[in-house]
Amino acid sequence: MTDKATVVIPSPVDGIVTELSWEVGDIVPVGAVLYVMDATGEVHEQRALASHVAPGSDQAAPVEAVAAETAAAAAETPAAVAPAQHSASAVLRGAGKALATPATRRMAREIGIDIGDVAGSGPGGRVMPEDLARHASGPVIAQPLLQAAIPVASVAAAPAKTAALWAPAPRVEVAGESEERVKIRGLRRAIYETMARSKATAAHFTFVDEVDCEALVKTREILTQKAKASGVKFTYLAMIAKAVTLTLAHFPKMNAQVDDRASEIVLKKHIHLGIAVATDAGLLVPVIKHAQRMTMLELAWHIADLSERARQNKLKPDELKGSTFTITSLGKLGGLFATPIINHPEVGILGVHQMQKRAVVMDDDSIVARQRMNISLSFDHRIIDGHEGAAFAIAVKGYLEQPEAMLLEMA
């Protein structure tokens, strides 16, 4: 897990991890040793068994003795109760954490299997995908193998005990106050640090305006059918993105970054548009490179593609950096307006809010229902003056209220 994305790195060799150098949530310096792996190919049963004996227990006997006792208990267990072909290492692993790859664990969750109950046939007792398939098609295991041999009479009486499991669990009252501490790590740490740096560095000010979306709605209805024929989902966000790129061409100062160390404004000649995407891990900002060259159809495709891969943690590192201006859409949860935090070191950000029907007083004093939405733009007041930010917002609004005007400036 980096500060930008979660990446799966395959192991370079087969082997057994013998030492972990860091705790979960630690920030590891580049080049540091993450773990030590034994790649000799030998299965160290003693180490695997010893690592799964509960700490603080009275089991001071050699590992071989523990394995022998477990095997003996398995031999005495009735065939209808004990699973077939459990190795001693797999048995003891059931009391701890099963050895398996993340993909195998995900497969177990998807088919509803507790991976701790599965006998692994891989190196060191690792649970393999074929073990899951075999377990899923096998007999239901009534009791864990680690328990003592169960008399046949006890097995016959099991249904009565099973029925009691469906009773509501007794409520456990927690005395006093309680809390849970969660380490700030990975993407959340990146957001934590970036937002703090932005607020501490940029002098934020926000401009809010209301956009009449009647023409935007009608234009999208027409273009949606055209886009559908090309297999592209055409959204309002693609039209908003195009309006922003066209407006940035008239306001080059908005398409800039601040070099605080050099006290310089870096005016970007290209437009790399950041699109904020909410994911389970946190807010990501994938970047559409050279957005000024793209049609609305191309922007719609890139927005859909980047958003989907962001939610699946499949973005490349290069797709998460280099933005020159950012759009954040709050969609149906948009509310009236918000104060977007600038994606430092950029100097501006556009927040898009919920579109809904509102009562509007027309020029002839009639009151009609029209589709409206608010836009919120935050700027770095060190670089952008108030009247410049307002002019930029009004220009974006003009394109959205008259989307046909965008056709005049498209290459």
Mean of pLDDT values over 46-69: 43
The model's confidence at residue 104, banded by pLDDT at 50, 70 and 90, is confident
Distance, in Å, from the CA atom of 54 to the CA atom of 340, rounded to the nearest integer, reads 50
387 is annotated as an active-site residue: no
Pairing outcome for strands 325-329 and 273-275: parallel
Is the model's pLDDT at 199 over the cut of 50?
Answer: yes
How large a percentage of the chain has pLDDT more than 90? 44
Please list the helix, strand and coil fractions of the chain in percent, rounded to the nearest 5, in that order.
40, 15, 45
User: What local confidence, expressed as pLDDT, does residue 205 receive?
Assistant: 96
Query: Is the Cβ–Cβ distance between 237 and 329 less than 8 Å?
Result: yes
| Highest mean pLDDT (candidates 12-16, 334-338, 364-368) | 364-368
Report how far apart, in Å, the C-alpha atoms of 205 and of each of 16, 91, 304, 348 are.
55, 62, 30, 10
240: DSSP letter: H
**What's the pTM?**
0.62
What does the pLDDT look like over 201-224, one tens digit per residue?
A: 999 999 999 999 999 999 999 999
Tokens of 360: 């509007």
Place of tokens 């034994």: 38
CA dihedral 306, 309, 311, 313 (to 10 degrees): -130
Q: pLDDT at residue 284 above 80? A: yes
Beta strands in 9-164 (DSSP E): 16-20, 35-38
**Percentage of residues in the chain with pLDDT exceeding 70?**
75
Of 334, 274, 270, 335, the C-alpha closest to 310 is 274
Give the Cα separation of 396 and 248 in Å (integer): 9
Average pLDDT over residues 50-71: 43
Q: Is 59 left (phi over 0), alpha (psi -120 to 50) or beta?
A: beta
Where does residue 208 fall: left (phi above 0), alpha (psi -120 to 50 degrees), or beta otherwise? beta
Contact indicator for 216, 236 with CB cutoff of 8 Å? yes
What confidence category does residue 290 fall into, taking pLDDT thresholds of 50, 70 and 90?
very high
pLDDT digit string, tens, across residues 255-274: 999 999 999 999 999 999 99
What structural domains does the chain harbor? 43-150 (4.10.320.10), 187-409 (3.30.559.10)
Q: Active-site residue among 52, 135, 381, 387?
A: 381
Q: Higher-confidence residue: 118 or 97?
A: 118
